[in-house]
Structure 1
């Protein structure tokens, strides 16, 4: 049974809300004891250690094949779900596109409440990778939500009503929030994104009761003429050169924020430099602290404690923003409290939580930018030529990384870290400083995002055939791969591990898998009709264990790399599974493709210029080569009315209030006509290909039918 979030269910929702039984507040003590509170998922990583491990084992490796769909909840969007739900005393809380928040019954999927922060749709242009949201934090009887337009909002847990709202960013700058806040010690910690658009990173702490800002710590130094906020920034400034502050500098804290209750430290994962190209960002060199670093702060004051920089002078968008996991392990015969980190750069880092000492750095995927880490200095040894200085280079991992935002999991039973690995490289070719133009509200990487037509086709072939992706188990104490499960497509989902010797992961091609945690054997598969990208959660209600996950394509790689799907994109959903459940999903319809409009008659040179402009300004949402993933419109399949209004949409903001930004500050009318001509050209290429496929399909069906008739005739005459 499905429970869509609609006005038609308002009465049901009200009754459900009135009948719901809410448990104890999510206090500091309750969060500290979360590991023994197996029925609930109280924080983003389930516990403060953010291992994403559930002690539940009713569902286990002996009965996983008996799992079935218990219920699903439909949102009203196609724009992507990256949320990790919270489950608190039988109620599930999750977030969706445009920073919407929902509460549903965790046993049935019935809607309890829905909150829309009414984010201005024109803010979509500064959301790097879609208007997604990765979740909320809970403290006492409140929930905390970050919004695309930079607000931190406290909601009443029981009603969804806003209690306070704090603007955490300068609205005039290109900041956004898509990550989940964290809560500890009466404070709510939040970062932001936007480095590519020209921002300076920081993390802030707010009073959980009032929304008053308690402290803010910048991750990189600002303009020296304006002074430094603290000694940490003064030290960092010595590792920068040029006038980096004019470009923002980057270093946004867009995901990983972890509180360590044992050592009373707050760890943040600092993002990439901006622009990515270090020779533009900081001419003359320098490590550019604290980019691509794990930094420990005093949670009460925000004072700097220590840092470890994983990628000095980051040059490839190798953020350290990916999930930080805390663990107690045996390392070389001694017990150690460690951070286990597997970020974009492709290495698994073991870092001592006490002082930031690097204990180990070993590659978990193909890495070409560095040969190894010098354990005496803790620094990577870069490979000659991989910094694309004056000469293009094919570099592994790509700017998407060996592991991106999709959560990993750690099992204290197997001592394995389960990583959604992406084994993919990328060509880098720098833009020389004199030719570099910094554009506010647009991507500024410092390397070419466009290619010639032949190179583009070759890159598409690479994306289709050569990149590899795995569910990878990493033996933390042995620092090596334990096993890998290959996936047919790239950019797959996050992971949860359970005490039932299971790990669960979704895939970009719409499968949800239960896998043995000790050896990687796939035990169960469910076809979800849509991509599954975020991390699942496990919880129990009335003695029954559930596995729940958000379903819906969207986000940087699926939008940008031109992945076409054979079906329409269903609404994003939450799906919950339990043993012997029998719910089913509705059928998925086949898409209807309109006939493209007549070609414009523009020259090949104009169409080629349109392609370059499309790659620069449009591809990050509408897909490389105009091949969209369906989370937003695939421009090859526009109805005539949109072609008629193409220039008004792109230049005049006709659809800005619906989330399609205007580009009049960077494009003129002639350029937009060239972009439109390229889109129409690609629509015709796709239409011709579909006609060819349709002809072959018709021929194959005809041959199959004739063969079946011939076989039937032969049977009749031989048996008569």
Structure 2
């Protein structure tokens, strides 16, 4: 499984050459004299800039960059981690919250830790069995698990130090984000809003895992009192309803940043539970602190200030996206700012000491609001966006967001923030038959609106609005500077360097280096799989490296299917490490072709339609729109007759629970499961007919030639 080139031999060979060749000696000595530069924190620094001062690899020599070594991981689900590099070791996480430690020069696997997450817990996850990385402090590692644990390991050996359960296991909480460390505390949030939880962020002592404080992001049952004045204030913004029975949402599932001078911890807060405000808070209100940046005192978790990006959130417009701290001159005045491009499509620059809004302009296509009113700081909404009594129409952004979790980066050299932006439309409609289903998706929206119609004209119009790319944003001028267009959305996080370089992996399976000042494409590498994670860079023994974990997955890879990803993208989970002059290669891969050999369709049109509706309720979020997999999970259309014989054992009995496919016997009856099966069979026959037609067309073209 481990593949590595003997980097140590290559280095020793260079030393021997230097001893024999006087002209080469000064070069080698100079290289060895360069200090090591590590990547010790998630965003490289407390400000989460993801800007490296390294410039050994620059815009003039990046075309000499080559693969030095790689490591294939034993899983085939999405990889989203930011690797840490400390004392010559790379620490990273993989699917199912596994942790790996590698020699950063050779790739040798030093140790591996599997927290044994119950595979059936996957049903409690919105967006794949991913993990975004570890935190490091004083020889110890800290990371969260999908089933809500916070674990500390000895970095040298991977030995368990302590483990604490941070969530109520009776609720569908999860952890996919990376912890942050402030002084003697490790900070962790959680996910699960769509499935029905109440959000919070907690601090635990690094020494023993004892909880130091907890800040809830939304109020609980008012009859039981409030945990803090902040919660009492928030409760006044929830209009009626019994949101606490479902949970209210507001999970802190990803972004954080810390200013040690101000002693402020910034956390991004997620969407409502359910999405549809008409259900969770029928009397309206802002529903604090949903979709907000909240500044806390990290000593005790007390509230300091907040800014809400989307009052009365109703579209899954989280504010959990990457936040960056910087010192900028705005209107002739030096300002300490915090910057964010949340899902709702506007780029925000705030004073990070007070939360004062300094600018907010659209970085993606926005139809739900015309602009942000600078006097009030509130969006001026399109009334139709709230889908009261009718659908929203084609709305941008959709729940995937104008920017999702994929980290931005900031370069003080160019003064630009680099955003992995995207346009993915959605149609929202109220689910008139909504009922809370514990542990299952609870959006409060009509899932039929999530399925693209088969009408080619309508389908083409929707897909024509889908875009992805890099946007270089000037936060002082509050406008874009340049843009690079990608083939589609869901591309990787960003890395900026002092070498006038910007690195990003993409959904097409390439790691690319651009000139950070202009966006000019300078170098690329075929990773053979989609890359969603952000790259990092480090220098060790005089050599600069670039590293990235590759492995297609995440939310869009599950639900997007062919409509949003231009066909299934294979997952090949691996860690890739590059240096100048690297000459390793990946093994060749064969082009994967889907084979459709379904049994005959026995259901009538009514049963197939019922199956479609049930599929959109129970299956679409893992197996894709119209039963077309995006590549991270099996494509159900490829099931043959033998597999369809096992259908009820799988869907109701949980035959494949070890892969995360739990049984739905407590939720679905046999006739319902059979209706879903008939819908899948119909989709398979349609795919087979299209494939046969394409094959016939190609054969005719070949004969004509």
User: TM bucket by the smaller chain?
Assistant: over 0.9
Partner of 1:111: 109
Structure 1, 554-563 or 408-417: larger mean CA deviation: 554-563
| Residues 551, 573 of structure 2: 8 Å contact kept | yes
Unaligned runs of 5+ in 1: 13-35, 705-720
Query: Is the CA contact (8 Å cut-off) linking 2:323 and 2:340 kept in structure 1?
Result: yes
Residues 76 and 571 of structure 1 are in contact (CA less than 8 Å); yes or no, is this contact kept in structure 2?
Answer: no
Query: Within the alignment, does 1:412 sit opposite 2:398 as a pair?
Result: no
1:594-652 C-alpha deviation (Å, 9 max, x unpaired) = 45232232101111111111111111111111111222111111244421111111111
Question: Is 1:644 the counterpart of 2:642 in the alignment?
Answer: no
State the Cα distance separating 1:65 from its structure 2 match.
1.5
Rounded to whole Å, the distance in 2 between the matches of 1:171 and 1:611 is: 31
Q: What residue number does 2:628 align with?
A: 627
CA distance in 1 between partners of 2:359 and 2:613 (Å): 42
Equivalent position SS for 1:386:
helix
Structure 1 residue aligned with 2:377: 378
Between the aligned partners of 2:542 and 2:655, the Cα distance in structure 1 is 52
Aligned partners of 1:213, 1:258: CA distance in 2, in Å?
A: 20
**Does the 8 Å CA contact 1:463/1:561 hold for their aligned counterparts?**
no
Q: State the shift of 1:666 in Å.
A: 2.3
- Aligned partners of 2:82, 2:462: CA distance in 1, in Å? 28
In 2: Cα distance, 1:511 partner to 1:130 partner:
21
Could you say if the C-alpha distance between residues 463 and 160 of structure 1 is closer, same or farther in structure 2, counting changes exceeding 3 Å?
Answer: farther
Which segment drifts farther, 343-352 or 595-604? Answer: 595-604
Indicate the SS of the match to 1:450.
helix
Distance 1:322 1:595, change over 3 A: closer
Residue 45 (structure 2) pairs with residue 44 (structure 1)? no
Distance in 2 (CA, whole Å) between partners of 1:370 and 1:303 is 32
Contact 2:42 2:134 in 1 (8 A): yes
Report the number of matched residues: 673
Q: Which moved more, 1:532-541 or 1:658-667?
A: 658-667
Aligned with 1:649: secondary structure?
A: helix
Aligned to 2:199, which of 198, 201, 213? Answer: 201
**Contact kept in structure 2, 1:346 and 1:363, CA below 8 Å:** yes
5+ unaligned residues in a row in structure 2: which ranges?
7-33
**What is the aligned partner in structure 2 of residue 427 from structure 1?**
427
Whether contact under 8 Å (1:652, 1:664) holds in the other structure is yes
Residue in 2 aligned with 1:122? Answer: 120
Residue 451 of structure 1, CA deviation: 4.4
Q: Is the 8 A contact 1:392 1:427 kept in 2?
A: yes
Q: 1: distance between equivalents of 2:128 and 2:459?
A: 22
Instruction: Work out the CA distance in 2 between the residues paired with 1:340 and 1:654.
Output: 47
Q: TM-score, normalised by structure 2?
A: 0.93
Cα distance in 2 for partners of 1:293, 1:616 equals 29
Relative distance call for 1:334 and 1:454 in structure 2 (3 A) is: closer
C-alpha distance in structure 1 between counterparts of 2:520 and 2:547, whole Å = 21
In the TM superposition, what are the counterparts of 1:525-536 in structure 2 within 5 Å? 525-536=524-535
Aligned twin of 1:351: 350
CA positional deviation for 1:453: 7.9
Query: What is the CA–CA distance in structure 2 between the aligned matches of 1:618 and 1:136, rounded to whole Å?
Result: 31
**2:59 match: secondary structure:** coil
- What are the within-5 Å matches in structure 2 for residues 222-301 of structure 1? 222-241=220-239, 242-301=241-300
- State which of 68, 77, 85 in structure 2 corresponds to 1:70: 68
Is 1:91 aligned to residue 89 of structure 2?
yes
**8 Å Cα contact 1:568/1:590 also seen in 2:** no
Question: Aligned pair in 2 of structure 1 residues 547, 568: CA closer, same or farther (>3 Å)?
Answer: same
Separation in 2, partners of 1:38, 1:274: 46
TM-score (norm 1): 0.91
1:348 shift after superposition = 0.7
Given that residues 451 and 612 in structure 1 are in contact (C-alpha distance below 8 angstroms), is that contact kept between their aligned partners in structure 2?
A: no
2:146 corresponding residue in structure 1: 148
- How large is the Cα RMSD of the aligned pairs? 1.9
1:307-355 CA distance string (max 9 Å, x none): 1111111011110001111111111111111001111011111111111
CA deviation after TM superposition for structure 1 residue 426, in Å: 1.2
C-alpha deviation, 1:96, in angstroms: 0.6
- Check conservation: 1:248, 1:274, Cα contact below 8 A: yes
Give the superposition deviation at 1:593. Answer: 4.3
Once residues 450 and 490 of structure 2 are traced to their aligned partners in structure 1, the CA distance between those partners, rounded to angstroms, is: 25
State how far apart, in whole Å, the 2-side matches of 1:90 and 1:462 are: 51
Q: For residue 565 of structure 1, report the CA deviation from its aligned partner.
A: 7.1
Aligned to 1:710: none
Contact map agreement 2:151 2:163 (CA 8 A) in 1 = yes
